[in-house]
Chains A and B, each alone.
Chain A
Amino acid sequence: MNTTSCGSNLLFSRSDWDFGTLSRAFDTIERDALEELNLDIHPVQMEIISSEQMLDAYSSIGMPLMYRHWSFGKHFLHHELLYRKGGRGLAYEIVINSNPCIVYLMEENTMALQALVIAHAALGHNHFFKNNYLFKEWTDASSILSYLDFAKTYIARCEERHGLSAVEDILDTAHALMEQGVFRYRRPPKRSLEKQRQNLRGRLDYEERSYNDLWRTLPPAKGESPADENESKIAERRKSLQLPEENLLYFLEKNSLILEPWQREILRIVRVIAQYFYPQRQTQVMNEGCATFVHYTVMNALFDRGFISEGAMLEILSNHSNVIFQPAFDDPRFSGINPYALGLDIMQDIKRISTAPTDEDRDWFPQIAGNGDWRGTLLDAWANHRDESFIRQYLSPALIRKWRLFQLSDTASEPHYEVASIHNERGYQQIRAALAHSYDIGANRSDIQVVDVDLLGDRHLRLEHKVTDGILLEHSSCEATLRHIRKLWGYQVSLVGVDGHTGAKIYERVSE
């Protein structure tokens, strides 16, 4: 360790950075974080970019490579406008879940800020990406960049061959269905063509072997009406298409009769990218919380050991407290719960519970209260949870009191809100459950699935929207999206809204 007693062992003394200082800072921070918190990270690749390039990265959803589409241009102009007017600062960094983990640092950052950002992104986010089960299972960090490269060149080639507007049409429709383009509950089926054929052959073999002409001569059973037969046919059909299917893009890609191969490939690209980002959306609080916890802990440790001067530490703390600022609900600045603040607070609370628990904590968290191993507890939480389960598991009454959380019921038909629960004995469970639920993206996103289509008949594609809590779809955007689906499907498309509990039909929309 670099703890020579003579002279200062400051990592940096000026606010300007250079590559030597950055490299030294990274080495110290990395060593400290790995020792202090037992982090486990991908190798890091740091790229210095200008603010202009940061805007570029913003507009292509944070990825270093992206295919071209007008909507990214629109987002760029939008961000640029906000930035130029000073309405919004730019992020200090962008981190990409890849192996090696790519961290973008803005050249405008001061050295203190660079150190903070390195601890935050290159270690905090990096650890989370590498160890959280969702990312492990769903994303392939080592291949995403080469996949994006493929996507970019593929789409550029399509543009050359089929014209800009044809490609744009497909991308528009695919983007409209991006949210319905992920597998929420299962892995995509990965059956090879060969295996599929084998299965089919086996089944035919079996049928041949067990064929018995006698079955044909049996009279139809009494009471079996043609309607039942029809129903069983539908069931058969749905089974063969593996319906219901929640991933609309997947279904259209595999089953649409009018798409060209290149169009299917584009749908696939959009779907793969949507799936890649799905874990990030489910772990926002944890991801940011983890990164914030890491930078806060590491920076304080470095300060205690004299690696960082007081002035730099003040700058770091000032930035830190800006990031975790959480205004109350009646503050004009309030715009929802700040994931950085919530994540960090729960994680610090976990540390408190495992080192200095109260009686209440022992009641609520018998398994971790007072175990003394806060590092292990946190590593376990980071690895095995997503936002919803994390909050459901670890939001403590103490934290609910500290945040003074309360639950507000909002029924559209009534002229008032009702306070459902507050931070008291009876409210803790409910608030925790409701907050966790609000982070469950799978449950909150409108549940729209393909339920039926008769490929041999009129090919009418039937979608079903399971309405939960009476929340309907906005009319105009729904119509427009249906039109997009119709473009991909080529035949009639209808959307039926049914009540999630009773199954009663609420509305029906048909796109001709």
Chain B
Amino acid sequence: MPIFIDRRLNPKDKSLGNRQRFLRRAREDLKRSIRDGIRSGKISDADSAQAVVLPKKGTDEPRFKEAKNTGRREHILPGNKHFSPGDRLPKPGGGAGMTSSPSTDESEDDFRFVLSREEVLDLFFEDLELPDMVKLNLKEILAFRPRRAGFAATGSPTNINVGRTMRNSLGRRIALKRPKRQDIDAICREVAELEAGPQTLIIRERIAALKTEIERMKRRQRLIAYVDPVDIRFNRFEARPVPNANAVMFCLMDVSGSMGEREKDLAKRFFVLLHLFLKRRYDRTEIVFIRHTHEAQEVDEETFFYSTQSGGTVVSTALEKMHQIVSERYPSSEWNIYAAQASDGDNVVADSQRCIALLDQEIMRLCQYYAYVEIIDERERHIFGTTENGTSLWQAYSLVNEKWPNFQMTRIAEATDIYPVFRQLFTKQVKARTN
């Protein structure tokens, strides 16, 4: 009699520790793979579970191996059909498997596997210190939502609470002894029976008495209403503030000729970060892409990042477009509005004043947060990095920045800047609020 052990209920993830160690080992490659994925993929997919390709190189296990193309070997193979000793066979060019010696090595080329959402985010935010980010507290516009709160004696007819009303009505009817219909019906039946029978004096008197009784009851019934206005109760609603769970993110980008691949890539990464951030805070996030040259268009993501358009640069068109979309589709009472604008700072000179006016008077009041990211050349960094000097747009926006605490602006020259900048944008706001 053998021993049987049912192991099926044992914890399954026995190899989880090994998986974690492997991911740690392959961290650099995985990170690169994820970044590539984010660069080429959609913004909204950035934090989903991802299949990553892992190159064999980073994780091979070296050992002394025989070089395939040296020396002399003897192979024994089955299935000879027509060879005799001394026959010569040309070697296949690509070293096809036909005469390879029986090998137990498994080919472990680059292989794909799926990382879970948490693993992706861990790797993506690894040096971005996500926990600190989550702690940051953004101000949230409160929306009001009616909630049931007991009953009221007044209200609109649509809110009548039938159950409660009928309960009151029943109680009142019992208290005031309103005659029941079946009682009246019973007496009526009795009268009918008596009238059908032989008419004696006693019976006639009895009939008359019953009829007055019926009269009395009917009168009483009329006086005491079945449902009286005092019975009626209405559902009462109270407007309770609820945190707004929707966010819309506007991505504004200059797509004129001066924005090259590098600039767009940097901008995209910034947008990705902001989107991930918002997604963690809000139940529902939407993204609106607005690109502009001398005129602005709302476009889809593909077009936003990958198609170019020629033309001048008039930034205010994008702001106008945004304002228009907000007022059409995203009332600020229901939506938290975030905007991120990426540009290389070019603008038609006369337009900057208009931008200031638009932001100051319209947009900043609607927006939860407005981030302006100026993408500059690496060589320009040491010129612009510290000073307040800059492009016309930068100078114009500096004025807005002074006035509105939820307006932030910064410069990015290379990919490594993005996270610090992102962090700085958010921490700064907290300080501004606590001051």
The interface of chain A, by Cβ under 8 A from chain B, is 19, 22-23, 26-27, 30, 43-50, 52-53, 55-56, 59-60, 68-74, 76-78, 80-81, 100, 104, 107, 122, 164, 168, 172, 175-180, 326-331, 334-337, 403-412, 415-424, 426-427, 431, 434-435, 437-438, 446, 448, 467-478, 480-481, 484
Residues of B within 8 A of A438 (CB): 74-76, 101-102
The reply on B163 being an interface residue by CB < 8 A is no
The interface of chain B, by Cβ under 8 A from chain A, is 1-8, 10, 12, 14-15, 17-26, 59-81, 83-91, 97-103, 106, 108, 111-113
Task: Report whether A419 and B84 are in contact in the complex, using a CB–CB cutoff of 8 Å.
Answer: yes
Q: How far is the CB of B10 from chain A (nearest CB, A)?
A: 7
- Given known A-B contacts A337-B78, A411-B72, A473-B66, A69 and B99 have beta carbons under 8 A apart: no
Tell which of A74, A420, A473 has the most Cβ of chain B within 10 Å.
Answer: A74
Residues of B within 8 A of A480 (CB): 62
Whole-angstrom CA separation of A329 from B96 in the bound complex:
12
Please give me the residue from chain B that is nearest to A80 by CB atom: B113
B70's partner among A23, A26, A107, A472 (CB-CB below 8 A) is A472
Whole-angstrom CA separation of A434 from B72 in the bound complex:
13
- Given known A-B contacts A46-B5, A329-B99, A473 and B83 have beta carbons under 8 A apart: no
A404's partner among B26, B79, B89 (CB-CB below 8 A) is B79
Q: How far is the CB of B140 from chain A (nearest CB, A)?
A: 41
Q: How far is the CB of A79 from chain B (nearest CB, A)?
A: 9
Contacts A/B (CB < 8 Å), 22 sampled: A48-B6, A49-B8, A50-B8, A53-B10, A70-B59, A73-B15, A77-B111, A81-B113, A100-B3, A328-B79, A336-B101, A403-B78, A404-B79, A404-B80, A405-B76, A406-B80, A421-B85, A422-B84, A431-B76, A435-B76, A438-B102, A481-B63
- From DSSP, what is the main secondary structure of chain A's interface residues? mixed
Task: Report whether A417 and B99 are in contact in the complex, using a CB–CB cutoff of 8 Å.
Answer: yes
A336's partner among B12, B14, B102 (CB-CB below 8 A) is B102
Residues of A within 8 A of B7 (CB): 47-49, 53, 104
Task: Report whether B89 and A478 are in contact in the complex, using a CB–CB cutoff of 8 Å.
Answer: no
Residues of B within 8 A of A80 (CB): 113
Which 4 pairs from chain A and chain B are nearest by CB?
A: A328-B79, A336-B102, A73-B22, A471-B71
Task: Report whether B89 and A409 are in contact in the complex, using a CB–CB cutoff of 8 Å.
Answer: no
Task: Report whether A78 and B76 are in contact in the complex, using a CB–CB cutoff of 8 Å.
Answer: no
Q: How far is the CB of B79 from chain A (nearest CB, A)?
A: 2
Residues of B within 8 A of A448 (CB): 64
Q: How far is the CB of B16 from chain A (nearest CB, A)?
A: 9
Task: Report whether B79 and A327 are in contact in the complex, using a CB–CB cutoff of 8 Å.
Answer: yes
Task: Report whether A329 and B67 are in contact in the complex, using a CB–CB cutoff of 8 Å.
Answer: no
Whole-angstrom CA separation of A68 from B287 in the bound complex:
44
- Given known A-B contacts A404-B79, A406-B77, A446 and B5 have beta carbons under 8 A apart: no
**Assuming A71-B22, A329-B99, A409-B72, what are 15 further A-B pairs, CB within 8 angstroms?**
A44-B3, A47-B7, A48-B6, A60-B14, A72-B18, A72-B22, A74-B108, A172-B61, A334-B97, A403-B78, A408-B77, A410-B72, A419-B84, A420-B85, A472-B70
Q: How far is the CB of A105 from chain B (nearest CB, A)?
A: 9
Whole-angstrom CA separation of A49 from B85 in the bound complex:
51
Residues of A within 8 A of B21 (CB): 68-70, 73, 164, 168
Task: Report whether A474 and B67 are in contact in the complex, using a CB–CB cutoff of 8 Å.
Answer: yes
Please give me the residue from chain B that is nearest to A106 by CB atom: B8
A59's partner among B18, B26, B68, B70 (CB-CB below 8 A) is B18
Q: How far is the CB of B105 from chain A (nearest CB, A)?
A: 11
Tell which of A53, A73, A405 has the most Cβ of chain B within 10 Å.
Answer: A73
Whole-angstrom CA separation of A74 from B113 in the bound complex:
10
Residues of B within 8 A of A43 (CB): 2-3
Residues of A within 8 A of B84 (CB): 419, 422
Whole-angstrom CA separation of A23 from B74 in the bound complex:
48
Whole-angstrom CA separation of A331 from B6 in the bound complex:
41
Task: Report whether A179 and B63 are in contact in the complex, using a CB–CB cutoff of 8 Å.
Answer: yes
- Given known A-B contacts A70-B25, A164-B21, A410-B99, A419 and B15 have beta carbons under 8 A apart: no
Please give me the residue from chain A that is nearest to B17 by CB atom: A68
Residues of A within 8 A of B14 (CB): 53, 56, 60
Q: How far is the CB of B172 from chain A (nearest CB, A)?
A: 67
Residues of B within 8 A of A48 (CB): 4-8
Whole-angstrom CA separation of A162 from B86 in the bound complex:
61
Task: Report whether A70 and B62 are in contact in the complex, using a CB–CB cutoff of 8 Å.
Answer: no
Task: Report whether A176 and B62 are in contact in the complex, using a CB–CB cutoff of 8 Å.
Answer: yes
Q: How far is the CB of B38 from chain A (nearest CB, A)?
A: 22
Tell which of B15, B22, B76, B113 has the most Cβ of chain A within 10 Å.
Answer: B76
Please give me the residue from chain B that is nearest to A248 by CB atom: B64
Residues of B within 8 A of A50 (CB): 8, 12
Q: How far is the CB of B227 from chain A (nearest CB, A)?
A: 65
B75's partner among A30, A408, A416, A470 (CB-CB below 8 A) is A408
Residues of A within 8 A of B98 (CB): 329-330, 334
Whole-angstrom CA separation of A326 from B1 in the bound complex:
36
Whole-angstrom CA separation of A68 from B4 in the bound complex:
27
Q: How far is the CB of B115 from chain A (nearest CB, A)?
A: 10
Residues of A within 8 A of B64 (CB): 179-180, 446, 448, 473, 477-478, 481
Residues of B within 8 A of A104 (CB): 7
Task: Report whether B76 and A407 are in contact in the complex, using a CB–CB cutoff of 8 Å.
Answer: yes
Whole-angstrom CA separation of A104 from B6 in the bound complex:
10
Please give me the residue from chain B that is nearest to A435 by CB atom: B76
Task: Report whether B63 and A422 are in contact in the complex, using a CB–CB cutoff of 8 Å.
Answer: no
Task: Report whether A73 and B102 are in contact in the complex, using a CB–CB cutoff of 8 Å.
Answer: no
Task: Report whether B65 and A412 are in contact in the complex, using a CB–CB cutoff of 8 Å.
Answer: no
Residues of A within 8 A of B69 (CB): 412
Q: How far is the CB of A172 from chain B (nearest CB, A)?
A: 7
B2's partner among A46, A409, A475 (CB-CB below 8 A) is A46
Q: How far is the CB of B412 from chain A (nearest CB, A)?
A: 33
- Given known A-B contacts A403-B78, A408-B74, A473-B64, A73 and B18 have beta carbons under 8 A apart: yes
Please give me the residue from chain A that is nearest to B8 by CB atom: A50
A434's partner among B10, B76, B89 (CB-CB below 8 A) is B76
Task: Report whether A45 and B72 are in contact in the complex, using a CB–CB cutoff of 8 Å.
Answer: no
- Given known A-B contacts A334-B98, A421-B85, A475-B67, A73 and B78 have beta carbons under 8 A apart: no
Please give me the residue from chain A that is nearest to B102 by CB atom: A336
Tell which of B75, B97, B111, B113 has the most Cβ of chain A within 10 Å.
Answer: B75
- Given known A-B contacts A404-B79, A472-B71, A336 and B8 have beta carbons under 8 A apart: no
Residues of B within 8 A of A426 (CB): 85
Please give me the residue from chain B that is nearest to A483 by CB atom: B62
Q: How far is the CB of A34 from chain B (nearest CB, A)?
A: 13
Please give me the residue from chain B that is nearest to A77 by CB atom: B113
Whole-angstrom CA separation of A467 from B71 in the bound complex:
9
Whole-angstrom CA separation of A480 from B21 in the bound complex:
21
Tell which of A48, A49, A410 has the most Cβ of chain B within 10 Å.
Answer: A410
